[in-house]
Amino acid sequence: MLHTSISPPTATDTVISLENVGKRYGNFAALENIDLQVRAGEKIVICGPSGSGKSTLIRCINRIEHHDAGRIVVDGTELTGSIKNIGAVRREVGMVFQSFNLFPHLTILENCTLAPIKVRSVGASAARETAMKYLEKVRIPEQASKYPAQLSGGQQQRVAIARALCMEPKVMLFDEPTSALDPEMIKEVLDTMVGLAGDGMTMLCVTHEMGFARQVADRVVFMDQGKIVEQNKPDVFFNTPQTERAQNFLRQLVH
Ligand code: ADP
């Protein structure tokens, strides 16, 4: 049963809509009956135990994985097998992974300009200008001519965020963006994400950083065994979790 005190969004401001979404790997249901509506500008933190389907859920939103039941609509485009629709959705959705996935043979600047030039047909100098704007935003412009291996993990992840922003997406998806980082680098990446949230970006973040969730999230979505078990405002979720599963999850985080 879904426990929530969040009022449903109106149809007009919904950017992402998942209706009854399911995903199976063979006989195993990784996602079941997922209903999630995301408003423009909303920040959602997705949490839950390992293996609960968090990563699968956000990977379905830009079709890295394909759902096999229900509907996913992003900015008015339904994700189906249509290559045209998949391309349209991917142009609007930026994604940042746990492992930064930068191209090792390209400089930081080239990492940031490649997709805008190839996919959005932006001119080279305009692409460079945009790239520098976002590298400044993630406070790393001085690294533009270096290669990824010359940067720390935290710096590489900030480049990955800048690279996604260079496509001027409407939505940013984060899949455990700080999990591969040393503790001293986590804050610089979270600070960048807090800044992005302050700019009004629509964000879905799978993260174990509950401090970030408290500070930034409009809504915390708690998953277990492929289902959304509970979703609520952070203060309600953390202070008065409604389900035993969420209570157990939060208790384990404390210890
Ligand atoms: P989480 O992000 O919450 O840790 P995932 O979405 O990564 O969970 O995985 C959900 C479940 O689906 C896990 O049990 C995982 O083992 C399974 N799973 C994920 N990807 C695959 C795959 N490609 N093939 C088979 N099972 C998978």
Q: Tell which atom from ligand 1 comes closest to the C-alpha of 223.
A: 3
Question: Tokens standing for 226?
Answer: 């492929």
- Going from the Cα of 108 to the center of ligand 1, the distance in angstroms, rounded, reads 31
Start-end of H helices in 5-97: 54-61, 83-92
Cβ distance 93 to 167 under 8 Å?
no
pLDDT tens digit sequence for 17-57: 999 999 999 999 999 999 999 999 999 999 999 999 999 99
* Contact assessment for residue 55 and residue 47, using Cβ atoms and an 8 Å cutoff: no
Residue type, 34: I
Burial zone of 121 (CB within 10 Å; 0-12 exposed, 13-18 middle, 19+ buried):
exposed
Give the residue, out of 55, 223, 225, with the most ligand 1 atoms within 8 A of its beta carbon, to mutate for a pocket test.
55
The structure's pTM equals 0.93
Q: How many Å lie between the centroid of ligand 1 and the Cα of residue 79? A: 20
CA of 93 to the centre of ligand 1 (A): 21
| Confidence band, pLDDT 50/70/90 cuts, at residue 137 | very high
> CA 24, CA 138: separation in Å to the nearest integer?
37
User: In the numeric block, which tokens belong to residue 18?
Assistant: 């998942």
What is the distance between the alpha carbons of residues 86 and 80, in angstroms, rounded to a whole number?
Answer: 7
CA nearest ligand 1 atom 20, residue: 56
Nearest to 166 by CA among 96, 247, 244: 96
Atom of ligand 1 nearest to the CA of 226: 10
Pairing of strands 219-224, 43-47: parallel
CA distances from 201 to 34, 98, 132, 171 (A): 23, 20, 19, 7
Average pLDDT over residues 123-128: 97
Q: What is the number of other CB atoms lying within 10 angstroms of the CB of residue 11?
A: 8
Our answer on whether the CB atom of 53 is closer than 6 Å to any ligand 1 atom is yes
Verify whether ligand 1 is closer than 6 Å to residue 87 (CB atom): no
Could you report the per-residue pLDDT of 139-197, keeping only the tens digit for each?
Answer: 999 999 999 999 999 999 999 999 999 999 999 999 999 999 999 899 999 999 999 99
What is the C-alpha to C-alpha distance for residues 163 and 102, in angstroms, rounded to an integer? 9
pLDDT score for 6: 54
Phi, psi for 126 (deg, rounded to 5): -65, -40
C-alpha closest to that of 209 among 225, 198, 193: 193
**pLDDT tens by residue, 85-111:** 999 999 999 999 999 999 999 999 999
Q: How far is the CA of 29 from the centre of ligand 1 (A)?
A: 9
C-alpha span between 68 and 50 (Å, rounded):
22
Give yes or no for residue 50 CB within 6 A of ligand 1. Answer: yes
Q: How far is the CA of 246 from the centre of ligand 1 (A)?
A: 20
Residue with tokens 């979404």: 21
Residue 54 CB–ligand 1 contact under 6 Å? yes
φ/ψ region of 81 (left if φ > 0, alpha if ψ in -120 to 50, else beta) reads alpha
Is residue 52 in contact with ligand 1, taking CB distance under 6 Å? yes
**Pocket flag, ligand 1, residue 43 (CB < 6 Å):** no
Confidence of residue 1 (pLDDT cuts 50, 70, 90): very low
Q: How far apart are CA 135 and CA 160, in angstroms?
A: 10
What is the arrangement of strands in the sheet containing 77-78, beginning at the earlier edge strand?
28-39, 14-25, 69-74, 77-78
Q: Compute the C-alpha angle 209/17/87, nearest 5°.
A: 95
Which amino acid is it at 160? A
